[in-house]
Amino acid sequence: MIVYRITNRRRAGDISGRGAALYPGRWNKKGTPVLYTGESKEIALLENIVHIPPMITPELDILSLEIPEQSVSKLEPADLPPNWYQYPAPTILSEIGQNWIDENKTIALKVPSSIIHTSYNVILNCAHPGYQKVKILKHEKFYFDLRLLK
């Protein structure tokens, strides 16, 4: 399975999950190294845009990552509490994510995007024993159209 990550150029090559461990997201708790990716370049971009402060022109790179197809779990909106998409994220989601990490059965957890509910983000468990099988296929500069910030 190919997934995409759009991120700050200075840290783009780091796929250790350290950033999410320091600054947790919707699906992980502080101290837990995960990598947030998207099933498409488009959802990876939208997920990034919602976190860009106003008046900032980001320098971004895009990574194409290959993850083992047989090591992916999936959650559907019906598997989640009714308020799963709200911002800020309900605490129960990081607990669901932590349970998946603690079970350590798969490298990836495919979860619905809170922005577009029919698209999916793919959370990678950087502490999984099989994580070394995750490969960076491409690492490129990402052209960011400033009209997206209007």
Domain count, the chain: 1
| Mean pLDDT score, 115-138 | 97
| CB-based contacts of 134, cutoff 8 Å, min separation 6 | 15, 65, 66, 67, 107, 124
| CB-based contacts of 39, cutoff 8 Å, min separation 6 | 3, 4, 110, 119, 120, 121, 122
Asked whether residue 150 carries a pLDDT value surpassing 90, the answer given is: no
| Mean pLDDT score, 98-122 | 97
- Structural domain containing residue 56: 2-149
| Mean pLDDT score, 102-119 | 97
Q: What is the pTM of this model?
A: 0.95
Asked whether residue 95 carries a pLDDT value surpassing 80, the answer given is: yes
